[in-house]
Amino acid sequence: MAVFVLGAGATRGASFVSPTDNPCLPPLDADFYAQLQRIQNKKHKSTIDTVIQDTVELFGVNFNVTMETVFTTLEHTERMIQTTGENRDFKRSEINAKKENLKQAIAATLEEALCAGGQHEGTECVHHRRLVEAMKESEEVISFNYDCLIDETLHRLRLALARPRFPHRF
């Protein structure tokens, strides 16, 4: 039995990723804000602006933080508010709104990078497909990615491979 481990960022090497065709790449923790600002679909402008403003409010105008740092800060701030009460700088509802805004921004970034800005359902990666096709039934995959590209490939191909194939009789 083998276990395949896909590290965070494995989707950056996907066969369809092309900075020339789509400047928004699958986000990494460290460059999430750069990718967020590369989203071209106008329907996400409000989400992008809100998350940038939320981050400026938390870390200042020259912030240099990662996505996970922002999530961790919001989680700890919420716990502090639960412990000390809402007499501090932020209300619990404000922190929850900032967390929801960040989740929506992550979804928008993934949509832009993996689904051509929402123009289609998803992009199939040749490399992921070849990996799944080469796997034995007893082998497993562990992924540390934010996206579900390998999960979708496994689901799609395993279902296709699991279907019985009978000769057509007319």
On whether residue 169 sits in a domain, the answer given is: no
Residues in CB range of 147: below 8 A, 6 or more apart: 11, 26, 110, 113, 114
Structural domain boundaries, residue 75: 3-162
On whether residue 45 sits in a domain, the answer given is: yes
On whether residue 151 sits in a domain, the answer given is: yes
Concatenated DSSP letters for 82-146? HHH-S-SSS-HHHHHHHHHHHHHHHHHHHHHHHTGGGTSS----HHHHHHHHH--TT-EEEE--S
**Largest CA-CA distance found in the chain, in angstroms, rounded:** 76
Supply the pLDDT for residue 168. 44
Report DSSP state, residue 31.
Answer: T
Pairing state between β 3-6 and 140-143: parallel
On whether residue 170 sits in a domain, the answer given is: no
On whether residue 167 sits in a domain, the answer given is: no
Q: Is residue 42 classed exposed, middle or buried when 0-12, 13-18 and 19+ CB atoms within 10 A define those classes? A: exposed
Supply the pLDDT for residue 164. 46
* Contact by Cβ (8 Å): 4, 131: yes
Global model pTM greater than 0.75:
yes
pLDDT tens-place values along the chain, 170 residues long = 889 999 878 899 899 888 888 899 999 999 999 999 999 999 999 999 999 999 999 999 989 999 999 999 999 999 988 888 776 677 889 999 999 999 999 999 999 998 876 666 667 899 999 999 999 888 888 988 888 889 888 888 876 655 444 454 43
Supply the pLDDT for residue 145. 85
Neighbours of 117 (CB within 10 A): 18
Domains in the chain: how many in total? 1
Supply the pLDDT for residue 49. 98
On whether residue 22 sits in a domain, the answer given is: yes
Supply the pLDDT for residue 88. 63
